[in-house]
Structure 1
Amino acid sequence: MSLLTVRQQIVACERCDRLRAYCRQIAREKKAAHRQDVYWGKPVPGFGDPRARLLVLGLAPAAHGANRTGRVFTGDGSGDFLMRAMHRAGFANIPTSRRVDDGLELRGAYIAAAVRCAPPDNKPTPQELHRCQPHLEAEVATLSRLSVVVALGKIAFDAWWRVMAAKGVAIRPRPAFAHGARCDVDGWPTVIASYHPSR
């Protein structure tokens, strides 16, 4: 399956009634600072270079960030923090991520999320994580050059281990999340755990 097809399937997803209702509600009600904006209000696919060697995996779209803009880690402080770091490391051509038409391009990196719809209070249910997992697995399957995964937060960290389990890689015991932890598994990308940059 192509990355374009995976992205189209993600955007069309209606698997989680609670998340879809919440995203639509946020898109209607809007934040005062963004009341003139047309909110995306749909599931958010990953973004970046299809030939990426680095995958940055987050939790979920921010209600007034990616749920508004339609691009992961875009339109909020977390996105700006992440893009400054990615720009310094040479993965992003500009140090900000404000709008889908801002000219941001990633080189050698791809950004995705464990959940594709903004969850209330940034807390997806276990069932929502389970229903969204096939999207992450499908996206990862198209990224054949990955050598490093940076998991931002415990939910993203755990989602990555589920990707590996779905591919038949059973790691016992599963590594525990700890900021700065590095996990190497033969034949798989190195996993680096990090706190999530949200405020």
Structure 2
Amino acid sequence: MTAQFPEREAPGAGSIPVLDERVTHCRACPRLVAWRELTGREGRQAYRGWDYWARPVPGFGPADAAMMVVGLAPAAHGGNRTGRMFTGDRSGDVLFAALYEVGLASQPEATHRDDGLRLRGVRVTAPVHCAPPANKPTPAERDTCRPWLVRELQLLRPTMRSLVVLGAFGWQATLPALAEAGWIVPRPRPAFAHGAHVPLTATDGGPDLHVFGCYHVSQRNTFTGRLTPAMLTGVLTAAARAAGLGNFGCTGD
């Protein structure tokens, strides 16, 4: 398998389920493949006996989502272990608790793929689908993975009205993907900031897409108070409103 695998396979995916399946077979970035598989073999003491996913992690959420949340990459002992974005790590604990608070998740915890969690009107993804060493993908790895994100955005275009980007790396990766997927991104590109709100016009005259910036839900940000639960739910609520999603704060079924 070559570095051209995403470029070759992503455009032909005719639906979100097909795209998700193709993502899981990608081996385009040798460094990421080696790291995700090494981590899967060695594991961590706390997860002894756990059968690690150790493959690329696809997006998670409905195929007709009105809102998307874009992170950075799966965590080595989070998504790389569980096989679901933001599931099984402290960052995910913060994110899903906030989505639940806003009324976009059926429960506040995400522990494994079969834990019953459902997302309502929102899909969670990342510009890099494999866990990177030190949580730092290279620009080349980001660019190699971009076709998956471009196609995901294209497939969601009929329903997606807002998008929340977590962190500067995700912001830098997502804006070019949005331009490829059919939205007009201003030049110079808007700078990342927590609370940034950039409406993008669709090239085909369709509805605008409202893009929001938010500090990443990393432990460094949440433990130091740079990102508080109130700050996170504030951005998610604004994005949900822009997407036309209602029942904010309604956590029941």
Q: TM-score, normalized by length of structure 1?
A: 0.97
Task: Indicate which of 170, 176, 194 corresponds to 2:214.
Answer: 194
1:97-147 per-position Cα deviation (integer Å, ceiling 9, x unaligned):
111010000010000001000000111111100110001111111112111
Q: Structure 2: how far apart are the matches of 1:29 and 1:75?
A: 17
1:5 Cα deviation after fit: 1.1
1:170 Cα deviation after fit: 4.4
Q: Structure 1: how far apart are the matches of 2:200 and 2:124?
A: 21
Query: Which residue pairs with 1:183 in the alignment?
Result: 198
Secondary structure, counterpart of 1:135 in structure 2: helix
Query: Which residue pairs with 1:156 in the alignment?
Result: 170
Secondary structure, counterpart of 2:218 in structure 1: coil
1:56-100 per-position Cα deviation (integer Å, ceiling 9, x unaligned):
000000000000000000001111111111011111000111110
Residue 216 of structure 2 aligns to which amino acid in structure 1?
H
Query: Which residue pairs with 1:60 in the alignment?
Result: 73
1:8 Cα deviation after fit: 1.1
Q: Structure 1: how far apart are the matches of 2:112 and 2:178?
A: 32
Gap runs ≥5 in structure 1: none
1:23-59 per-position Cα deviation (integer Å, ceiling 9, x unaligned):
0000001011011100000000000011111100000
Task: Indicate which of 28, 32, 46 corresponds to 1:15.
Answer: 28
The structure having more radius of gyration, on CA atoms, is: 2
The answer on 1:43 being equivalent to 2:56 is yes
Q: Structure 2: how far apart are the matches of 1:146 and 1:85?
A: 20
The answer on 1:121 being equivalent to 2:134 is yes
The answer on 1:105 being equivalent to 2:125 is no
Percent identity between matched residues is: 45
Contact kept in structure 1, 2:164 and 2:213, CA below 8 Å: yes
Task: Indicate which of 171, 174, 179 corresponds to 1:165.
Answer: 179
What is the Cα-based RMSD across aligned positions, in Å? Answer: 1.0
